[in-house]
Each structure stands twice: as C-alpha cells, then as structure tokens.
Structure 1
C-alpha cells in the first residue's frame, strides 16, 4: 500500500484486499488513525494508529521493519496477524517523506502454530518440573539442551559446580567421572539404552541414584540422549530392612525346626514311657518326671528366645 505525506492510503494491490478482508474502496482514503481500524499488539493491547509503521516512518523519515500487528475484522471480530515493513520515500530536495511504501504479509497460521507449540511446551515443562527425577537431555557434542530444576540442584550438590543450558557437560566433571560418563553417552549415541545405579556421598546424606539414558531420535537418526535419574536411597533402606527381617525370620525358622524339635521329642518320649509303666513301677515315675521337667525348661528357654528375636522385627 502507498500512503501520501498526510498518511492517507492512495494505492493498494489485490493481496492487501485479500489479507485485510476489505475492498479497495474500503481501504483507499483511510489513514492509520482512522477509527474504523481495530488493531492490537501481540500481547492483546491496543495498537494506536499513531504507532502504526506507516505513521512512524512518515514522522521519523526512517524505515520501520518486522512489526507484528493484529487486525480485527469481520462480524466475528477474528484477528488477522500481519508483519509489516514501512519504507519512507524522500525527494532529493526535501527532508521529509512525501510517500511511504507499506508492505505486509499474513502470519496468522504461523502465529497459531507458534501458540500451539508454546502451550505444549508449557505442559511438558510442568510435567518435567513436577517429576521426582532429574531429567536432562544433551546433543551429540555433550551440550546440555534441556534440564529440569531438580537436575540443576542435584548437579550442583554432587558435582560442586553450576551448569547451564548449552554448556558441555563433560567439562563440568572431574577425574574418572569424565571417562565413565563419556562412555555411557557414547553407548547411547550408538543406539543402546542404559540402566545403572551409582552411589554418591555428601556431607549431609548419601544418594543412591538409579539412572536411565535413552537415545533421542529424529526419524531414524540419533541426535542426542535423554537421561532420567531418581534417588532410590529410601528404597534401598527399605530393602535392607526387609532383608534383615528375612534373616531373622530364617533364624527363627531354623530354631523351630531344629532346637525346639529336640526337647519336644524328649518330652514326647518320656510321656510315652510313663504311659507304658505298670502300677508297681510308680516309684520310678519320679525320675522320668524330673527328665520331663528338664526338657520342659529347655523348651521354655528356646521359646522365650524365639519370642525375643521376633520382637526385634519391625
């Protein structure tokens, strides 16, 4: 479109009519400050006519480029997004523009796609940040492409250094850690998926980290690696408690199957002998009763020991 020195539109092409959804008669003669224009900035705020690229170019005599503007039109008040360039034309014997050439192209679809990408990114970020895992990704040059906040916090705690996006992660490691992690990443870059545990010790606590690293594919091509690391220290403690409990239960089971069985067998033998005595052998019963008492006390002691051991299982 062409604007004269007053800002009025004096010419337009068919593309302008199609994009603005207006006829040539509706466009010609208007200025940017015409109240029928309803234009907005990308944040939704009003875009005053005085700030339109054509008016700025007329006022300053300088080119204005890549200005994004939303134009509301139609009965449904839909917004058409355009990106505008305004180039002033100044005659050789003049210091002020006598015309401004305004060109613009529609970016409504591009804006919609960008908005969808932004929304999806927000959802993914919320998911990543709510996870109880350190999550990070790097490219084939070991540059950090993405990481959630937990990764940064844990990396600083365990590696004693602060890393940022686009940093080369191996340069922040030291000693044998460099060779070890470079080996992990190179395996993944060859298409392998890794799962391993590592133990780290700090002044405040121990960390048992279970880490999974998988290749990132673009089509059939590997372009990087994604890693997920969770602290399984509490799980390891629970497993150790269960193993201790199982050990005590096995010990109790052995006591019941071996130690308890011996005095119980003696008691049963004495009882069986007493049952077979004749009346005239009653006097001899006393010695068997003594044996029965000894075996009973032995069994009682074993049972007490079993009860004591079972009380330590928690």
Structure 2
C-alpha cells in the first residue's frame, strides 16, 4: 500500500491562500491603474478618448464591483483575467492594430501567475482567441476602418503563440503553487517535530526539576514536610527528622495529628486548618512544649494538600529576650542620667528621644521635643556652624565627636554647651546619641579670670615702664638737691622737677588702684 502524500492542514492552507491573494491583489491594483493611465496616454494619437475612458473605466468598475460583491469568492480573479484581455484589445484598437499592443496579452498572462491558479489563464486565452477571430472576421468583411495588418498565417501564429504563453504561465502558476505547498508542508512538519522535541525536553526538564526539588528539600536548612488532603504525610526531609525527632519511615503515609497528638488544638493546628480552608498561606511562631522549642512556621496550601516549612528559633527567641533586657538597661541609664541626653535622626535632624534632664534644662516638654529638630535649639547665627559640624560628621560617620555649641532654651536664654556625639542605630534608623554639658557658668568664670589676668598684665607693664621713669628722675634729682654746691636757684628748679615727678607717680599709682578694682560680672 502506497503512502499518501502529506497535505496541508486547513488553517495553514487558508493562511497560504489568503497571503498569496492579498499580495497579488495589491500588485494588480497598481497594474490596473497603470493600464487605465496608459489608455489615456494613447488617446491623443488617434482621438480615442471615448474608448480610453469608457472601455477602461467600465472594465475597472466591473472588476472592483465583483470583488466587493463577492469578497470570499475567487470569481473576481476570473473577471480580472477577462479585464486584462479587454485592455489588450483596447490598446490594439487605440493604436490601429499596432503589432506591439498584442504583447499586453502576454503581460496579463504573466501577472496572473502571482495568484498561483493555472485556471485563470483560460478566460484570458478564450478572450484573446475570440478577439483575434472577431477582429480577423471584421477585417475580411471590410467592416473596420483600420488598415488590415492581420493575415491568416499571422492570425494562426498569434493564436498559437498566445496559447503557448498561457500554457507556460499556467504551468508556472501550477508549479509555484505546488512547490509553495510542499515548502509549507515541510515547514509544518518541521514545526510538529520541533513541538515534539520541545515536549520531550519539557518532560526531561520536569523530571530533572523534580529530582532537583527533592535534592533542594533535603539540603535546605529549613525543615520541610508535605501533607495531602487527609493530613497524611507525603514528604518528610532530613531536617524535619532531626528537629521533630521522627524518621521519614515513621512519618510517610501517617496522619500528622496521630503522630503528634499533643499538637491538636495548638497554634499550629489552627493555622494549618485556616490555610487549607482559606487557600491562603500562613506565617506564624509556635511553642512546642513536648520538645521545649520555639518554631517559625510557613504553611502554603495547594490543591494537593499543604506544604510546611519551619525552623527552630529557640536561640533567636532567647536573644530577643536578652536584647529586651539590654534595651531596658539602656533606657534606665538614658532617662535617669543627670546630664541632658537625646537621640537625633542624622538624616532629618529630628529628635527621636530625650531624657528628663534635657526636658528640665531646656524648658520644652517631651511632646514638643519630638516635633522639633536640632535647628530649633540653635540661634540663627549658629545654623551655619552646625551645618559645618554635620558635614564633618558625614566624612567620619563612625567617629565619636566633641563639639562646642551655643544652644537656646525655650525662654530664649543662650547656653554654651559641650556636646559629645556617638553614632548608633536606634529603632532601625541611623542616629546619634548626644550628651550635653552646660559650660555657660564655667566659661563666664573663665572669661572673668582672663579679664583679671589682662589687668594684671597691664599693671605689671605700668610698674615696669610708667612708674620707672618718674622714680628714676626723683632718684637723680635728690642727690643734686642735697649737694652743698647747689645754689638756691638751682634747688628751687630741682624742687619743681621733684614736685612734677611726684605728681606723675601719684597719677600712675591711682591708675593702678583703679585697675585692681573688682572684676565686673559678665
């Protein structure tokens, strides 16, 4: 029994026919427009305007009317075959039987190849045969005014030549359609083979994925088990064996609640039932008293049952408990410190927490502080210096810094504060804890001492320079005054100089007395 040749599937054949037809229709539209314009171009030679417009226009109307009226039929293609023959006859008539116009029949036959339907050659061939016959008959009867250029031999040659051309074009259309179908059949078969190959690959990948899944479930750090709709265990990995102290052989096929009866009505029991009833995953923590352990559990429902991941978090629970105790100790140290302390957000500069000493020292309530930022406790003149300090802190984010700053109380009073800043994370936010020491009184006394020292330096300078000059004059004049050789006139002059030097010294002493007065309060 011979194998039947492969055929195209119906959808693929329809797609083939539609694609070929659409491409051919677009091509024919251009040629029909060109034929009509060619008729208008030929009209002036012999005054055939009526033929060019009438015959050419009616031919186009007939073609497009059939195409629109029968959109799902191929009849318009047969009409097209006749229309191409009519245009050939029109051009022959317009050019008074010019031999070259007969070649438009061959052009039309070649155009019809694009539809890949050999039967379209038949209407054109019949029309050409009818035209040549009628044309020859009318010439023989002397019923045409055009000169006779078509003899019997020429007529026969034209008919044979046209038949051969139409046969060749029909054969080309047939072979083109045949090879096109073969190519598409091969493409379809190749597609089917590729689909089969992809299906095989998918099955192999699924098998590999299943094996890989089992390997992953056995190697993950979390314990895992799977349950069917009846709560029977269908999978139990090694970590579950270790944590729950039940082997895989013990658990596979066994009802979970029969294996752990004390877990009935526990948090896990209620959460598992909630997941299966709602179809939504659940995440929770549960304490298993039998093993004295805390577990973090995630359960994911599916049409097949329930998949459960869990891990022992007993150490983490203990760490959290220790951390809470540490936080409480920090809170006590922070809130009961006698020095002002606060925590500030390093990005927004907002106060995140303040202790009682800060509230008492600055005069704001805790609620007011928690709506403020660092700029609110700085005078306008200190904002720029604060920004420079922050920029410096950005370049050394982990360093403990010491700063001297001017702060402002709620009543407007300014204070000189010594600031110590240490970066740390507070409630998950990058912050800095600040300890402030009020240096206002200390700086006031330091300033007073510095002023007193300046005055003492001035007194020392007056003693070493200003007093020395009149004293030296007095010491030099006294020996001259007591000298017996000094005349009375000279003694009078010396006495006047002594009085002047004494007055000058008295003025200097008075200035020293004034400078040693009490230091004014700042």
With normalisation by structure 2, the TM-score equals 0.33
Cα distance in 1, alignment partners of residues 366 and 352 from structure 2: 20
Cα distance in 1, alignment partners of residues 290 and 280 from structure 2: 29
Deviations 1:110-148 (A, max 9, x none): 333333322212211111111122223446535347533
C-alpha spacing 1:56/1:194, structure 2 compared with 1 (3 Å) = same
C-alpha spacing 1:215/1:7, structure 2 compared with 1 (3 Å) = same
Whether 1:179 and 2:384 are equivalent positions in the alignment is yes
- C-alpha displacement of 1:62: 2.0
- C-alpha displacement of 1:154: 5.5
- C-alpha displacement of 1:12: 1.6
* Contact preservation (8 Å) 1:9, 1:29: yes
C-alpha spacing 1:174/1:155, structure 2 compared with 1 (3 Å) = farther
- C-alpha displacement of 1:201: 5.5
Whether 1:57 and 2:275 are equivalent positions in the alignment is yes
3-state SS of paired residue (2:257) = coil
Deviations 1:3-32 (A, max 9, x none): 232334343222111122333426832229
Name the counterpart of 1:107: 313
3-state SS of paired residue (1:31) = helix
Name the counterpart of 1:29: 255
Name the counterpart of 2:176: none
Cα distance in 1, alignment partners of residues 269 and 436 from structure 2: 55
- C-alpha displacement of 1:106: 2.9
- Determine which of 329, 332, 339 is the counterpart of 1:126: 332
* Contact preservation (8 Å) 2:334, 2:341: yes
- Total equivalences in the alignment: 212
C-alpha spacing 1:225/1:56, structure 2 compared with 1 (3 Å) = closer
Whether 1:88 and 2:301 are equivalent positions in the alignment is yes
Deviations 1:174-195 (A, max 9, x none): 6224224333444555557435
- C-alpha displacement of 1:84: 1.6
Name the counterpart of 1:3: 227
Deviations 1:257-285 (A, max 9, x none): xxxxxxxxxxxxxxxxxxxxxxxxxxxxx
- C-alpha displacement of 1:37: 2.8
C-alpha spacing 1:197/1:158, structure 2 compared with 1 (3 Å) = farther
Whether 1:214 and 2:427 are equivalent positions in the alignment is no
Kindly report the root-mean-square deviation, in angstroms, between the aligned alpha carbons of the 2 structures.
4.4
Name the counterpart of 1:13: 237
* Contact preservation (8 Å) 2:336, 2:355: no
Name the counterpart of 1:170: 375
Cα distance in 2, alignment partners of residues 215 and 160 from structure 1: 22
1:1-314 superposed matches below 5 A: 1-24=225-248, 25=250, 28-31=254-257, 34-37=260-263, 47-48=266-267, 50-52=269-271, 54-64=272-282, 66-74=283-291, 78-79=292-293, 81-90=294-303, 98-138=304-344, 140-141=346-347, 143-144=349-350, 146-150=352-356, 153=359, 157=363, 162-164=368-370, 169-170=374-375, 175-188=380-393, 190=396, 193-194=401-402, 196=404, 198=406, 200=408, 203=411, 210-216=417-423, 225-230=432-437
C-alpha spacing 1:11/1:213, structure 2 compared with 1 (3 Å) = same
* Contact preservation (8 Å) 2:349, 2:373: yes
Which entry has the higher C-alpha Rg, 1 or 2?
2
Deviations 1:39-74 (A, max 9, x none): xxxxxxx9445423x22112222222x312222334
Higher percent of residues as strand: 1
Cα distance in 2, alignment partners of residues 169 and 100 from structure 1: 54
Cα distance in 1, alignment partners of residues 258 and 363 from structure 2: 58
3-state SS of paired residue (1:125) = helix
C-alpha spacing 1:29/1:7, structure 2 compared with 1 (3 Å) = closer
C-alpha spacing 1:151/1:9, structure 2 compared with 1 (3 Å) = farther
* Contact preservation (8 Å) 2:341, 2:434: yes
3-state SS of paired residue (1:68) = strand
C-alpha spacing 1:145/1:110, structure 2 compared with 1 (3 Å) = farther
Cα distance in 2, alignment partners of residues 158 and 184 from structure 1: 24
Cα distance in 2, alignment partners of residues 161 and 37 from structure 1: 47
